Amino acid sequence: MTEVNQEQAAPTPAADTGSRNLVMRAATALVLAPLAIGIAYAGGWAWAALATAVAVGLYIEWLSVVGAIGDRRVAAAGSVALLLGGAALALGQGALCILVTVAGLVAVAALNAERRGWSVLGYGYAAAALIASVLVRLDPNDGFAALILVLLVVWVTDIGGYFAGRSIGGPKLWPRVSPKKTWAGAFGGFFGSLIVASGFAAFGIGKWLPLLTLAALLSVVSQLGDLFESAVKRRFGVKDSSHIIPGHGGLLDRLDGYVAAIVVAALFGVMRGALDGAGRGLMVW
């Protein structure tokens, strides 16, 4: 009887691995999150440089996932275009950024025959993430608050979904695409985003109803972005986009929800506040 109880008390290898992975994820987040917030606060060329570096990383990982990384011309053409586009944004040259981005799109499409559609989609994905990230932060008055709102909604949606999914379990959200995600996790992340919006409103950074609506929208979009990336990886039989971030996999794995959320936030902000006022469009009602 004693031996049986000891065996039951001993953690399984899977549980051990899960615990170590959780600790690694938490440690990495504690380092990267403050760094990202600090650079976001600095804004300007520092944020544009980070957004550019991330966009290039997203593009390279995408090519790796879809099996197009072997054509160095495609990787180089898209990467150079993203670098030049990011430099143009840092210098405040929006029109030049669009011109360079379109030229990069044409080059990627012209150079790749085998995986042309997937390569073009990956380039557009990375370019959209770059441009949207800079546009939301561009507003000197409300850009930082808007960007932090997006970041926190995405992070809390992810964290809330993880813990709600593990503790509650229940029916799977879309098992064919993402076997581990549950409806409980989806709702847990969603309600977490509402708490973030409520915190902003409580401190007078925006109005209650618009912020709750915006946070709800971005949380749903973030989760859809996560599912989209999972679907792409499953389509090509890939588990992680890379192992560049300890405990989190690759940039695509970590930023799939952010990319979807920041692009929607930028589109919404620009519609309400113009190209140089996306932050104001999101935060001022």
pLDDT 10s digit of each residue in the chain, 285 long?
Answer: 344 444 444 444 545 555 666 677 677 778 888 999 999 999 999 999 999 999 999 999 999 999 999 889 999 999 999 999 999 999 999 999 999 999 999 999 999 777 899 999 999 999 999 999 999 999 999 999 999 999 999 999 999 998 888 888 788 888 888 888 899 999 999 999 999 999 999 999 999 999 999 999 999 999 999 999 999 999 998 887 777 766 567 899 899 999 999 999 999 999 998 888 999 999 999
- For residue 7, the model assigns a pLDDT of 41
Task: List the chain domain ranges.
Answer: 43-138, 140-285
Separation CA 223–CA 260 (nearest Å): 9
Q: Is 244 helix (H, G, I), strand (E, B) or coil?
A: coil
pLDDT at position 169: 79
Residue carrying structure tokens 């679907």: 231
Other C-beta atoms closer than 10 Å to the C-beta of 279 total 26
Stated length of the chain: 285
Q: Measuring CA to CA, which residue among 127, 162, 157 is closest to residue 224? A: 157
In whole angstroms, give the CA distance from residue 273 to residue 266: 10
Based on the number of CB atoms within 10 Å of its own CB, is 16 exposed (0-12), middle (13-18) or buried (19 or more)?
exposed
Model pLDDT for residues 36-95, shown as the tens digit of each residue: 999 999 999 999 999 999 999 999 999 999 999 988 999 999 999 999 999 999 999 999
